């Protein structure tokens, strides 16, 4: 068989092997002299009715991209992180403790930069931002938006706590930083720098250690004005219809998203004494009546409602 005949036979084989890429590649290598002709088996023409259906190359090409996309999405969600249980824009009664510390870090850094650079405008701007966040809500708080949209989805939700203590801390930061800027512009830069330096120190300590001076002040006032021997030494049994007359029962003012409240639930249930939980969202009237300024608030009561012991805060 001449050279032209052999080439014609190979062209016919290639035409019949559209759906056999491996054999087609070997024939091409033979045609270019990279493989001996004996290594390729003779290919018989296949009738159209016996040929397998032609598969869509476009569909095959899409599959690797699709799996790669799924892999990227899967690896973009870190495993073992706590899913978000509180909506940061609607559940404003509680706050992620990491969000509070991130806000304190932002306040401390801005205040410290103002001290080091002698720039009171930084204190005024930070004070204004805190005031806007306190009055208009978290959607207008730049550190809050940054944390809840950028950091929390990546690192997961932290422990939830009552939002009122950090709110008082932010209010104190607003007042002190505003006063520092005002004193600087009134010609008393030393006093302004001292106040701003104190704010920077306390804010950075709170961000790094979790000790928040403003939060502790709020908790102290909550203990003083809440259920106590001085203010409320007895709970009205008509407010607590589920008291069953046990010698000692626990009453817990709680919030469904409060992490510390859940810890108290487990501890009180383990004692075996009756536990009555009052959700402050459903009964804000009782929270106001008994001065519940912080959750959880836990007391032990007698059958007539007399407060035997205050356990928290």
Buried b (16+ CB within 10 A) or exposed e, 10-30: beebbebbeebeebbebbeeb
Instruction: Judge if 167 and 247 occupy the same domain.
Output: no
Point out the least confidently predicted range of 81-95, 105-119, 136-150. Answer: 81-95
Does residue 89 fall inside a structural domain?
no
d(CA 288, CA 281): 11
Which of 102, 287, 111 lies closest to 206 in space, CA to CA? Answer: 102
Taking the CA atoms of residue 173, residue 176, residue 178 and residue 182 in that order, the dihedral angle to the nearest 10 degrees is -170
* Mean pLDDT computed over 225-245: 74
Between 258 and 66, the more confident residue is 258
**Structure confidence by residue, pLDDT tens digits, 237-266:** 888 887 777 889 999 999 888 888 889 999
pLDDT score recorded for residue 242? 78
Is 82 part of any domain? Answer: no
Report yes or no on 190 lying in a domain: yes
Maximum alpha-carbon separation in the chain? 116
Query: Which of 199, 221, 243 finishes a domain?
Result: 221
Q: Is residue 81 part of a domain?
A: no
* Residue-wise pLDDT tens digits, 8-45: 555 554 444 444 445 544 444 444 444 444 444 444 44
Q: Which domain holds residue 149?
A: 95-221
Q: Kindly report the average pLDDT of the chain as a whole number.
A: 78
* 140 pLDDT above the threshold of 70: yes
Which residues are within 8 A (CB) of 76 and not within 5 positions of it... i.e. 6 or more apart?
Answer: none
Question: What are the Cα distances from residue 190, in Å, to 184, 232, 299?
Answer: 8, 46, 48
Q: Is residue 40 part of a domain?
A: yes
Q: Are residues 25 and 118 in the same domain?
A: no
Same-domain pairing of 20 and 107 = no
Structure letter (DSSP) for residue 244: -
Are 25 and 119 in the same domain? no
223 or 227, higher pLDDT: 223
Q: Tell me, what's the pLDDT at 120?
A: 96
> Total structural domains in the chain?
3
Last residue of a domain, one of 172, 189, 221: 221
Same domain, 156 and 251: no
Specify if 164 maps to a domain. Answer: yes
Residues 260 and 174 occupy one common structural domain:
no
What is the reported pTM?
Answer: 0.62
Number of continuous H segments (helices) and E segments (strands) in the chain: 12, 6
Please enumerate, as own/partner, the contacts of 227-234 that have beta carbons within 8 Å and a separation of 24 or more.
227/290, 227/291, 227/292, 227/297, 227/299, 227/307, 227/310, 228/310, 229/307, 231/291, 232/290, 232/291, 232/307, 233/306, 233/307, 234/304, 234/305, 234/306, 234/307
Same domain, 191 and 122: yes
CATH of the domain at 290: 3.40.30.10
CA 70/CA 65 separation, integer angstroms: 9
Tell me whether residue 88 is in a domain. Answer: no
Does some domain include residue 86?
no
């Amino acid at each position: 068989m001449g050279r032209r005949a052999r080439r014609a036979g190979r062209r016919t084989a290639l035409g019949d092997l559209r759906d056999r890429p491996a054999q087609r590649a070997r024939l091409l290598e033979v045609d270019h002299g990279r493989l001996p002709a004996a290594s390729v088996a003779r290919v018989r023409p296949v009738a159209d009715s016996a040929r397998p259906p032609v598969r869509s190359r476009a569909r095959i090409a899409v599959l690797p991209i699709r799996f790669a996309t799924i892999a990227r999405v899967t690896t973009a969600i870190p495993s073992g992180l706590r899913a978000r249980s509180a909506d940061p824009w609607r559940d404003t009664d509680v706050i992620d403790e990491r969000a509070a510390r991130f806000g304190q870090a932002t306040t401390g850094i801005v205040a410290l930069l103002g001290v080091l650079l002698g720039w009171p405008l930084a204190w005024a701007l930070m004070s204004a931002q805190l005031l806007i966040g306190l009055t208009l809500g978290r959607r207008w708080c730049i550190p809050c938006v940054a944390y809840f949209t950028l950091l929390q989805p990546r690192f997961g939700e932290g422990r939830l706590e009552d939002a009122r203590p950090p709110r008082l801390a932010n209010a104190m930061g607003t007042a002190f930083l505003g006063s520092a800027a005002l004193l600087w512009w009134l010609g008393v830069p030393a006093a302004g720098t001292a106040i701003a330096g104190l704010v920077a120190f306390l804010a950075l300590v709170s961000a790094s250690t979790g000790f928040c001076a403003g939060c502790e002040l709020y908790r102290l006032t909550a203990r003083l004005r809440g259920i106590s021997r001085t203010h409320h030494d007895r709970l009205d049994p008509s407010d607590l219809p589920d008291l069953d007359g046990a010698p000692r029962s626990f009453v817990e003012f709680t919030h469904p998203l409060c992490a510390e409240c859940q810890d108290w639930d487990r501890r009180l249930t383990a004692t075996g004494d009756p536990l009555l939980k009052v959700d402050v969202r459903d009964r804000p009237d009782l929270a106001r009546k008994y001065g519940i300024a912080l959750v959880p608030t836990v007391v032990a009561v007698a059958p007539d409602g007399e407060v035997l012991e205050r356990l928290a805060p």
